[in-house]
Structure 1
Amino acid sequence: MWAPLFGIQDDSVRTLQFQIRSRIVDSILDGTLPAGTPLPSSRKLATELKVSRNTVILSYQQLVDDGFLHARERSGFVVSSQTQERRVVPPVEPRQLPPLVEDLNWEARLRSQSSRYRSIEKPTNWQAYKYPFLYGQFDSSVFPINAWRQCCRQALGVLELSDWGRDTIDEDDPLLIEQIRTRILPRRGIWADKSEIMITLGAQQALFLLSEALFCEKTVIGLEDPGYPDMRNIARIKGARVQPLPVDEHGLIPQPGLAACDYVHVTPSHQCPTTVTMPQTRRRELLDYARQSGAVLIEDDYDSETSFDNAPQPALKGLDDSGRVIYVSSLSKILAPGLRLGFVVADARLIRELRALRRLMVRHPPLNNQRAIALFLSLGHYEPLIRRLTGLYRQRARVLGDALSHHIPSAKFRPATGGSCIWLESPQGFNATESARQWRSEGLLFEPGDVFFDDRSAGRSHIRLGYSVIPEARIEPGVRLLAQAIGG
C-alpha cells in the first residue's frame, strides 16, 4: 500500500529524499495519514520504493525533527498528534444560509477590467515546444548556476541575514543600490546619487508606479507605434489619453505630435518591437523636442547590455542635462525573468513619492533576492554573463537571419544588432495570429505582431521571433516550418 501513496518518479529533478519527505508531508497534512498512524519500517519502505534504506532513514529523521513524526522505541515511527493541532474542526452539519437578495455581480463592481486589454500571450509550457521562437525567456543552460548558488549561500549567512531579514519599511538593500550606482549605470553613461535610485519588481512595476504617481484622465502619454503593449494598457487603466507616435529605421521620430504629450515612453536601445537602435543624433534631437515642449521622457532601457556593437550608444538619461528623463531598466533580462528585479532612476523628489507608493503595495522587493544579486554583481559574475550571452545571441541571430533570407525571401527584416529577437514583416495577406494558433500543434511557437500596434490590423502580418531559448541546431528547421506557415 505504501508504494502508490509515497511513489517516487525516477525522471524527477527532485532528489529521492526530497520526494519521499514531500509525499509523507502531503499525506499527513491532507488527512490521509491521521495522528497515530504507524509508518512502515525504513527497511520495508525502502524495499517497496526500491531505494536505499539510508534515504528513507534520513527522510524519517528530518520529519521527526520537524514534528511530523514521532519515534516510538521498538515500535517505529507514527504520525505526530502535533500535526492536528491548531486546526479548525469542520461543522457536523452545514449552516443554513439566508436567501440571497441577488447574485453578486462582480462585472458591475470592477472599477478596472484589465483582463480585457490586448497583451502579449505566451504559453507557460513553452519548453514543451520544439521550435520556441519566444522573446523574454532565458536559456537555463547558460545561467551561471554555480556562481548564483555561491551568492545565495553567502546571502544566507548569519551576518547577511541580520541585514535582509529585518523590516526596512520602504528602503532597499544599500549594497545593491551601490552596485547599480557604480557598476551598472556608468556602463550606460549615467551617474546618479543613491537617493535617485529605487529597486522595483521588474521594469513592469516601475512603469506601473510611474503611472500611479504621474498619470490621470487629463494626461496625454505618447507611445511608440508599434510599441510596448503593456505600457499602453497601463496608461489606459489610469484613463490617460494615448497618442501613437510613429517610428522609423532609427526609432521614435521627433515630430510635432510630441508637443501634445505630457509623457513619452521610448525604447531607444532596442526599440520594442522593431529592435532598431536610436543613433545619438536622434537621441539629442528627441531631448531637444522634450525640452522645448515640456514633455518628460520615460526611457525603457531594456536589452541595452547585449548590444553586438562594441561601442553602445549612451542612454538618453546619460545625455539629459535638464532632468527630463526617467530611466527604467531591468536586471531580470540578463539574469532570469523569474527573479523580477528592476530599478528606476529619477529625480530624488519623484523617487521619494515612488517609494511611498511602493510601500503601500509591497513595501519593497524581497531583500534576500536583492542581497544575492548585489553579491552577484560585487563578485564580478555579471560582466562574464553579459559577454557569454552577447556572443551566444550574436551567433543565434546570424543563423536566424541566414535561414530567414534563404527560406522566406519575401519577408522583410533587419539583421539583429543586439538583444534577442528579430522583427519580421511577412507578405501582405498573412494572418500571423491565426497561423500562430494553427502551427502550435507542429511544435512551432512565434509571437504575432499585431498586439504591438495601436491599430491591430496594421500589424496583422508582423512576427516577433525570439532566439534566446531556441537551440541553434533547431533554428533553421524551425524557420523551414515557419516558411510553410507563411506560404500556406
Structure 2
Amino acid sequence: MNISVSHIFLSENAAISLQMRLRETISGAIWSGRFAPGDKLPSTRALAQHLKIARITVSAAYQELVADGYLVSAPRSGYLIAEASPSLRLAAEEKTQDDRLKVDWSQHLPGDYAAVAEKVKPANWRAYRYPFVYGQADQSLFPHDAWRDCARRALGKRDFDAAAGDFRDTDDPMLVKQIVMRSLPGRGVAARPEEVLVTLGAQNALWIVAHLLMAHRAQACAAIEEPGYPELREMLRRSGVKIAPIPVDREGMCVEEIPQAVQVVFITPSHHAPTGVNMSRARRRRLLELAEERDFLVVEDDYDYEMNYLKPPLPALKSIDSQDRVIYLGSFSKTLFPGLRLGYIAAADPLITEARGLRTLVTRHPPGITQRATAYFLALGHYNAHAARQRSEFKARWLILEKALTDAGLKVANKDSIGGASVWLELPEEIDSGALAEELKNDSVLIEPGARFFASETPPRNFARISYSVIPKDRIAQGVKLIADAIRRRQS
C-alpha cells in the first residue's frame, strides 16, 4: 500500500530539529502499527512539498530510518517499511498469555513505593505563567554553547575511550581532579582523589551512605531535620531505620535534642531543606563536639552552596571536622540542570572503598560521557562563570520577591537565610497550603505545599515553599499578588 502524504505530519516538539521530528513521526507510526511492513512511503519530493520543508531534510530522515532498520531502500521503488521493523503489533502477537499464568503482583510487591514518587509539581509546569517551582533549570541562564562544546569534546576521538568505556568501580580521573582541585577547596575542604566517589546525584549518594552505615545495624537510628528532605525520610523509613526528627530553628538543627541512641545525623547546614536556614557557627561546632562525645557520624548534604549572594557563606561543616566524622555530599545537578544526575561523596578512605564496591553492584559507575563533559565544563571555567551569573540573577529575583511578599503581607519564615533559590512561607494558621496550591493552579500559579516535608503524622498545613529559580523577574510580583488574593478569598 502507498502511504499518502496526508498521513505524515511533523510532531509539535519544537525543541528538536525538523529532521528529528519527521523521523519521530514515521518511526512512531511504524511502531504503533499504522504503517505496515511493505508499505511504500511518499517520495522525498512529494513529502517535502506537503510539509513545506527542504527535500534534503526528508532524505536525511529517511536515510536514518534505513540505518535503524525501520525502512529499506528499493531501487526504482523508493522507500518501503522494512519487513523486520520494530512493531507494537508484532510484539503484542508474540506476547499472547494464558490468563492462568498471569502473576498476582500484589503478592510480590509492597505496593507503596509509587506513593514516594508523589508528584509535587505537574510535568507540564512550563505551561504555567507563574511557576514558583523548585529544582528546575532556567534555560535562559544556561550557557548552551559552552555545554555543547564540552559534550563535543567528550564525544571526540581523543576522549572516546575515557567517556565510553566500562571502568567498573572507577571514576573519570579528569572529573575527580576537578572536584579535588576546584569544587571542594571552594568549600574549605581538602581531599585526595581516593577520598572521592562520583554518584548519580546527591540522592544516589544519600542512598549509598545510608545503606552502608545503617543497613547492617539491628537497631539503627538516624537523626533528620524537621522539617526535612522527604525522599531521605522515606528512604530511611523503608530500610527499617528508626527516625528521630530534630526541630530546626533560626540557627539550624537544634542539636541538643539529638537522642543518645543516634548513629548517624543527616543535615543540610548551608541551606536547610526546605526552609533555607543557614546553620550557625556555634551549632556547627556543637554538633561536631556531640559527634565525638557520642561516637556518631554526620552526613552533610551541601546542596545549593553556590547560591549564597546576600553575604559570604560559611565554609562547609566538613572543613572544620578534624575527626573524619563528616561525610560530605556535593551535587552538580542543582547548578547545571537536574537531568544531569551527577554528584559526589567526599569522605574517609574506608567509607569510599566500601561505597565504591556497593555502587558497582547497583550502577557500576555514572555514565562516562556525562562525567567527561562535566569535567571539561569545570576545567574550562564555565561552571564558575555560570554559577556567578545565577547568583546575580537570583539576587535580583529575590529582591523583587522580597518586596512583593512584604507588600502582600506574607510572612517569610527563613528571613535570615543568605541565598538559595526558594523561600519558606508561613501562612495564616487557618490556611491549608495543599488546598491553596490546587486553587492557585486555576490562576496559572504553582507553589509547593509544605506538609510533605514534615515527619509528623499530623504536620502543620500552613507552610509552603516558593522558588524563584525559573520564574521571570517581570512575573514575580503579579504571581505573589495572585497568591495573596487566593489567601484572602479563603479567609473570607
Task: Give TM-score scaled by structure 1 length.
Answer: 0.92
Residue equivalent to 2:434: 433
Number of equivalences: 484
Paired residues of 2:5 and 2:46 also in contact (CA < 8 A) = no
> For residues 276-321 of structure 1, what are the alpha-carbon distances to aligned partners after superposition, in whole Å with 9 as ceiling and x for unaligned?
1112232112111111111111101111111114532111111100
Match of 2:10 among 4, 8, 11: 8
Q: Structure 1 6/486 Cα, relative in aligned 2: closer, same or farther at 3 Å? A: same
- Give the superposition deviation at 1:232: 1.1
> For residues 65-100 of structure 1, what are the alpha-carbon distances to aligned partners after superposition, in whole Å with 9 as ceiling and x for unaligned?
555444444443333445379x978769966x3847
Residue equivalent to 1:53: 55
Residue equivalent to 1:153: 152
- Give the superposition deviation at 1:29: 4.1
SS at match of 2:425: strand
Residue equivalent to 1:363: 364
CA distance in 2, matches of 1:118, 1:25: 31
Q: Structure 1 26/396 Cα, relative in aligned 2: closer, same or farther at 3 Å? A: same
> For residues 83-129 of structure 1, what are the alpha-carbon distances to aligned partners after superposition, in whole Å with 9 as ceiling and x for unaligned?
379x978769966x3847xx854344335733345967222111111
> For residues 42-84 of structure 1, what are the alpha-carbon distances to aligned partners after superposition, in whole Å with 9 as ceiling and x for unaligned?
2222222222323223333444455544444444333344537
Paired residues of 2:411 and 2:427 also in contact (CA < 8 A) = yes
Residue equivalent to 1:342: 343
SS at match of 2:336: coil
One-letter amino acid matched to 1:387: A
Greater displacement, 436-445 / 361-370 = 436-445
Q: Say whether residues 1:131 and 2:130 are aligned partners.
A: yes
Q: Structure 1 4/357 Cα, relative in aligned 2: closer, same or farther at 3 Å? A: farther
CA distance in 2, matches of 1:66, 1:367: 24
CA distance in 2, matches of 1:299, 1:446: 27
Unaligned runs of 5+ in 2: none
CA distance in 1, matches of 2:309, 2:278: 11
SS at match of 1:285: helix
Unaligned runs of 5+ in 1: none
Paired residues of 2:11 and 2:25 also in contact (CA < 8 A) = no
Paired residues of 1:413 and 1:425 also in contact (CA < 8 A) = no
- Give the superposition deviation at 1:167: 1.2
Paired residues of 1:222 and 1:263 also in contact (CA < 8 A) = yes
Residue equivalent to 1:77: 79
Residue equivalent to 1:403: 404
| Match runs of 1:15-414 below 5 Å | 15-81=17-83, 83=85, 97=98, 99=100, 104-110=103-109, 113-116=112-115, 121-216=120-215, 217-409=218-410, 412-414=413-415
- Give the superposition deviation at 1:367: 0.9
> For residues 444-485 of structure 1, what are the alpha-carbon distances to aligned partners after superposition, in whole Å with 9 as ceiling and x for unaligned?
111111111222544211111111011111111111111022
SS at match of 2:306: coil
Paired residues of 1:401 and 1:415 also in contact (CA < 8 A) = no
Paired residues of 2:278 and 2:417 also in contact (CA < 8 A) = no
- Give the superposition deviation at 1:371: 0.6
CA distance in 2, matches of 1:413, 1:174: 39
SS at match of 2:273: coil
Q: Structure 1 184/73 Cα, relative in aligned 2: closer, same or farther at 3 Å? A: same
SS at match of 1:369: helix
CA distance in 1, matches of 2:246, 2:411: 27
CA distance in 2, matches of 1:82, 1:320: 62
SS at match of 1:152: helix
One-letter amino acid matched to 1:130: R
Q: Structure 1 117/41 Cα, relative in aligned 2: closer, same or farther at 3 Å? A: closer
- Give the superposition deviation at 1:150: 0.1
SS at match of 2:258: helix
One-letter amino acid matched to 2:56: N
CA distance in 2, matches of 1:6, 1:179: 48
CA distance in 2, matches of 1:170, 1:412: 43
CA distance in 1, matches of 2:53, 2:300: 56
SS at match of 1:459: coil
Paired residues of 2:5 and 2:42 also in contact (CA < 8 A) = no
Greater displacement, 243-252 / 52-61 = 52-61
Greater displacement, 474-483 / 116-125 = 116-125
Residue equivalent to 2:475: 474
Paired residues of 2:313 and 2:418 also in contact (CA < 8 A) = no
- Give the superposition deviation at 1:331: 0.6
- Give the superposition deviation at 1:435: 1.2
Paired residues of 1:411 and 1:427 also in contact (CA < 8 A) = no
One-letter amino acid matched to 2:16: R
- Give the superposition deviation at 1:386: 0.7
Greater displacement, 312-321 / 280-289 = 280-289
CA distance in 2, matches of 1:286, 1:424: 27
Q: Structure 1 191/8 Cα, relative in aligned 2: closer, same or farther at 3 Å? A: same
SS at match of 1:161: helix
Paired residues of 1:265 and 1:300 also in contact (CA < 8 A) = yes
Q: Say whether residues 1:459 and 2:460 are aligned partners.
A: yes
CA distance in 2, matches of 1:42, 1:94: 38
Task: Give TM-score scaled by structure 2 length.
Answer: 0.91
SS at match of 1:298: strand
Q: What is the RMSD of the two structures over their aligned residues, measured on CA atoms?
A: 2.5
Greater displacement, 457-466 / 25-34 = 25-34
Paired residues of 2:250 and 2:416 also in contact (CA < 8 A) = no
Greater displacement, 43-52 / 347-356 = 43-52
CA distance in 2, matches of 1:193, 1:94: 56
CA distance in 1, matches of 2:103, 2:59: 53
Paired residues of 1:63 and 1:69 also in contact (CA < 8 A) = yes
SS at match of 1:259: coil
